[in-house]
Structure 1
Amino acid sequence: MSEVCLWLTPKIFDDLRDPRPAIEAFLDHYGEWIDGRAVTIVFATSNGDHLLCWGGDRTAGFDWARYNCFAADVAPRAHNLDWLRRVRDGGERSFNPYSAGPMMILSEQQIDYDVLAGCYAAVRDVARARGIELTLLEYLEPGPEFCRSDFKTHRHPEVAVAGADSGGHIVPGILDVTLPLAADERAYAAYPRGFASGLPAGDFVAAQAAAYVNDFGLDGVLLGNQFGLLGFWDPAHAPPVTPERTAGIGRFFAAMRAAFGPRQIYWMDTYWRADLERSAWGMPPQAYAAMDAILVSAFAVLVERTEIVPNLRSKAALRGPRVLFGLDFADPWYWYRTWLDDRRTYLYQRKVLAEHADLIDGVSFFGNDTFGHLVPDGPLTETLDTVRKAGR
């Protein structure tokens, strides 16, 4: 196992304007995972709309993923009353609302692009001082799951009409890379004078993401939650496959590769095998060649356990992108703790890691929970022991 891909969110910072202490603590805590491995950090600021809206003004502010169980316009009081009645009073331990937890704001800190640039720089500086060769990625989510999504739900809802489950609530705002954008006169990093109607959303995302990465000195992006493929997490949710949709998806990934050049493109998959991604979602086979790494998703709240190994085998068989196996401890945006709440899947993930280490180039996991705390030593150590016993 040559790579560890750690996610962090701004929730780890007591003071966004003084990020170094939290970064030092983060790298200390995961030191044994980092030692001797290639290190990637995914800095998951928001749903990625701050990237999509970036126009060059570093003083502009934006919302960030500072919530537990954000669900757009869903009334928090109604959700929390349902949670109280079913979970606290009724003892229910369901998928949701139990796993999502109550709706709440975890931080009142404000962020703008200048503050965020300071956080990126601090991650770089602390890693460099420790001799860590770091790959630093920003996160780009296709939907509105974790905070307000100005680009998808306000500026350009015409390309984000699909919805997805967000903490037990279906909310609209999933970006479809195959749809055309309406005209927009706002300044964007990739389109300083705006753009005319008809620009494919995928073309915009590719050019804008590359411009953002370049402007902030990052190494690439992680495309989350099967970015590019509509119908989250289950083939039954996918729209009909048409030649036009498949061509549009292929165009998006080709545009990403062309725009990014040597910079890194990581992609979080559908939880399902590559053959199903092709047949059910219309993923063109050549699109995988645009990726530097694929995160094989295995989050307990969503995965079909019987699909984990077949999916892992299918992604390894591509013989192209590096294969990162997704481990599950806790979630930065929901309150569940997998080693407590779904022990069966938690242990099965470690079993797969031990028995199929030859298929895996690295692992990926969330480095902080919804409260901004790091993964506790107990589950972290027992998982690292599994890696060591597998000789990886």
Structure 2
Amino acid sequence: MRHSGGPVEACLWITPKIFDDLRDPAPGVEAFFDHHAEWLADRPVTVVFCAGNGDHVLNYAGPASWDDRFDWARYNCFALAPGGPAASARAHNRDWLARVRDGGERSANPYSAGPMFILSEQPMDYRTLAGIYAAIRAEASRRGLRVNLLEYLEPGPEFCRSEWKTARHPEVAAGTADAGGHLVPGVIDVTAALSADARPYAAFPGGIPGGLPAGDFVAAQTAAFVADFGLDGVMLGNQFGLIGFWHPDNAPPLTPERSAGIERFFLRLREAMGEGLVYWMDTYWRAEVERSAWGMTDAAYRSLDAILVSTFAVLVERTEIVPNLLSKAALGGPRTLLGLDFVDPWYWYRTYLDDRRTYLYQREVLAAHAASVAGVSFFANDTFGHFVPEPELSFTLEMVRKAEYG
């Protein structure tokens, strides 16, 4: 949907790394609202909280399980390869040292990903997560802000351990993801059939029946999680629903059955979520390519409240940014959120330093095509849990205001 003038939506992503103490999130939440006060005033605001890669949503067993622990995105450049985490980290870091520090490499991976390391040993459970959500709600209310709060659901195994995708149900994990230069399995195919699973889940307390499409489970389970934690919706990351990441050449052969299964997932999710928000991060490619290569459908697009037009510098084809934005705005339904790069909360690249050319180009696109932009979206903290430096935030906010009011 095109922008009709006036304030655009600010969609900011944060992770648990911003907290010194996960069980006392109030100081970190207050600091987040203070740091972004100018961004959050007098405009629609959405906060996407990314506890991990969404595996905790898929594993969630219901309110009685709030003391269950789960892994969270407490790493830089997580990739679980054969040999275990210690062996993976040692091999990656040796490669990083040889190519980046000793060799002077300054592009692609492993430069962008950085070394593998753990930033926190604090445990996370669902009760702690509920406390974080509550702290965000309370601080927004104290400031008189209406904030839509979403949780993040990633189809793949990046950022932290993925028990549901890689151990419980590998039969529906048909794709791979590039995690800091490492191809790792565990990307959900929503059209694949699940094996029977007797474990309780929030949406399936009696277990998962064999043969259930993975997309049906994800839709019902996501809606149950959102309802139990009082959230406003979900952000579906990394082209959730479409197998073959980030380039049409990676898409599997398209069949009528696959396209129908994809549409079924989005419609089931829309039905299960009711009035809840469904945001979707796209493939980096225009709508006609998503239809012809991946099997996205018009009905699936219409089920969405907003589409994040992906522009991350480490992946995007720069010549595709404008055609993609215009194609998504032309859909006439979901709001178009233009992705803006600063930093990454899971890898240590800093686009405003490492790829200034693309960083500035994103903002040029915003200025030139403001009528097609209903909002902007960015990661608000880096891999260390620090917020985007104020000068870069101010520079970009000035560009946003010019786009809003000319």
Band the TM-score falls in, shorter-chain normalisation: over 0.9
Report the counterpart of residue 3 of structure 2 in structure 1.
none
Among candidates 64, 67, 81, match of residue 73 of structure 1: 81
Among candidates 254, 259, 273, match of residue 267 of structure 2: 254
CA drift of 1:354 comes to 0.8
Aligned pairs for 1:25-174 within 5 A: 25-56=31-62, 57-73=65-81, 75-174=88-187
Q: Secondary structure, in 3 states, of the residue corresponding to 2:193?
A: coil
Amino acid at match of 2:72: W
Aligned pairs for 1:339-350 within 5 A: 339-350=352-363
CA distance in 2, matches of 1:5, 1:245: 31
Q: Secondary structure, in 3 states, of the residue corresponding to 1:286?
A: helix
State whether structure 2 residue 334 is matched by structure 1 residue 321: yes
Aligned pairs for 1:206-217 within 5 A: 206-217=219-230
State whether structure 2 residue 394 is matched by structure 1 residue 363: no
Amino acid at match of 1:73: A
Amino acid at match of 1:201: A
Report the counterpart of residue 219 of structure 1 in structure 2.
232
Q: Secondary structure, in 3 states, of the residue corresponding to 1:117?
A: helix
CA distance in 2, matches of 1:197, 1:265: 27
The Cα offsets for residues 265-313 of structure 1, whole Å up to 9 and x where unpaired, read as 0000000000000001011121001100000000000001100000000
CA drift of 1:386 comes to 1.0
State whether structure 2 residue 251 is matched by structure 1 residue 243: no
CA drift of 1:73 comes to 2.3
Amino acid at match of 2:51: T
State whether structure 2 residue 218 is matched by structure 1 residue 205: yes
CA distance in 1, matches of 2:398, 2:271: 40
State whether structure 2 residue 208 is matched by structure 1 residue 189: no
> 8 Å contact 2:344–2:382 — kept in the other structure?
yes
Amino acid at match of 1:33: W
Among candidates 238, 241, 250, match of residue 228 of structure 1: 241
Change (3 A) 1:195 1:26: same
The Cα offsets for residues 90-116 of structure 1, whole Å up to 9 and x where unpaired, read as 100121000000000011111000000
CA distance in 2, matches of 1:389, 1:273: 26
Q: Secondary structure, in 3 states, of the residue corresponding to 2:108?
A: coil
CA distance in 2, matches of 1:243, 1:39: 38
CA drift of 1:387 comes to 1.4
CA distance in 1, matches of 2:276, 2:402: 33
Report the counterpart of residue 285 of structure 1 in structure 2.
298
Amino acid at match of 1:71: A
CA distance in 1, matches of 2:276, 2:404: 30
CA distance in 2, matches of 1:120, 1:144: 23
CA distance in 2, matches of 1:239, 1:108: 38
Report the counterpart of residue 24 of structure 2 in structure 1.
18
Amino acid at match of 1:6: L
CA distance in 2, matches of 1:301, 1:105: 22
> 8 Å contact 2:13–2:380 — kept in the other structure?
yes
Gap runs ≥5 in structure 1: none
Structure 1 outlier segments of 4+, above 3 Å: none
> 8 Å contact 2:71–2:160 — kept in the other structure?
yes
Among candidates 382, 387, 405, match of residue 374 of structure 1: 387
Report the counterpart of residue 351 of structure 2 in structure 1.
338
CA drift of 1:164 comes to 1.5
CA distance in 2, matches of 1:302, 1:135: 28
Q: Secondary structure, in 3 states, of the residue corresponding to 1:161?
A: strand
The Cα offsets for residues 209-260 of structure 1, whole Å up to 9 and x where unpaired, read as 0000000000010000000000000001000100110000000000000000
> 8 Å contact 2:8–2:404 — kept in the other structure?
no
Report the counterpart of residue 85 of structure 2 in structure 1.
none
CA distance in 2, matches of 1:326, 1:380: 14
Amino acid at match of 2:95: D
CA distance in 1, matches of 2:24, 2:381: 18
Amino acid at match of 2:80: A
Q: Secondary structure, in 3 states, of the residue corresponding to 2:111?
A: coil
